[in-house]
Structure 1
Amino acid sequence: MTLVALLFWGGAVSCQSKPETAAPAVQSEGVVNADVNVAAFAALIDTAETGLLLDVRTDREFAMGHIRGAAQIDFYRDDFQAELAKLDPNVPVYVYCRSGNRSGQAAKMMKSMGFKTVYNLEGGMGAWARKQPIEK
């Protein structure tokens, strides 16, 4: 499925959980690539003026429930990296999956592709669904 939109929302995101004090890490000047907990992820997407909320799970997983406002690109697609390349690397990306594994790999991939700001939800949808609403 092709990425539908570069939207922003009224929802929130999460992947794998670490301490509730997890904060974004600046790797180099102007570049952020961080794993954040549910509370931080929700706060980031609630306060962001622009950005892309990206679900990298399969179509079936996405249909079972997702964070409101999320676009979806299946991590397992052969053209996953090509789909990422269509995105604006200057727009913040808030990425999640089921557990944080695929989205963590996707975040690293985006960093290597020159994306400036990528936040990965620790604990994924599992962590998110325990604390925040999901949309079906």
Structure 2
Amino acid sequence: MTTKPENTTVQPPQIVDAAGAKQLNDAGRITIVDVRTKPEINEYGYLTGARFIDFRSPDFSETIHALARNDTYLIYCQSGIRGLRTGQLMEKLGFTRVYILEGGINTWLRAGLPILHDQQQ
């Protein structure tokens, strides 16, 4: 997968499976955004380096709007619905590289991939 920094064309969010998400994460230069609630994060854990932006918070849209448009993002939630909606919002706002973890953290956990549980978010 090659990304060009000078590319400013808005692309629809791309859906990736757990292996694809791990590959993106391992490659670095990606912002991981967890859009779940604090209780979900505490119960199921989270991906290393995740930034927490609760989909249900009153300032969710404003927080997403403030992110850099040309960065690369991996978005996930619990099962995929909120992640997909976040990706659609980001597309409307002009974000250029957004990936959605298909099936959310549930898919990541089923694949046996590593998560953190330190509850310090």
CA drift at 1:44: 1.2
Residue number in structure 2 paired with 1:124: 104
Residue number in structure 1 paired with 2:30: 51
Residue number in structure 1 paired with 2:84: 104
Q: Mark the runs of 5 or more structure 2 residues left unpaired by the alignment.
A: 2-7
CA distance in 2, matches of 1:115, 1:79: 18
CA distance in 2, matches of 1:69, 1:130: 20
Deviations 1:17-60 (A, max 9, x none): xxxxxx9xxxxx74442011111111111113x22100000011
Detail structure 1 runs of 4+ shifted over 3 Å in the superposition: 29-32
Q: Mark the runs of 5 or more structure 1 residues left unpaired by the alignment.
A: 1-22, 24-28
CA distance in 1, matches of 2:84, 2:25: 18
CA drift at 1:76: 0.7
1:1-136 superposed matches below 5 A: 30-32=9-11, 33-48=13-28, 50-64=29-43, 65-131=45-111, 132-136=113-117
TM-score, normalised with respect to structure 1: 0.75
Residue number in structure 1 paired with 2:5: none
TM-score, normalised with respect to structure 2: 0.84
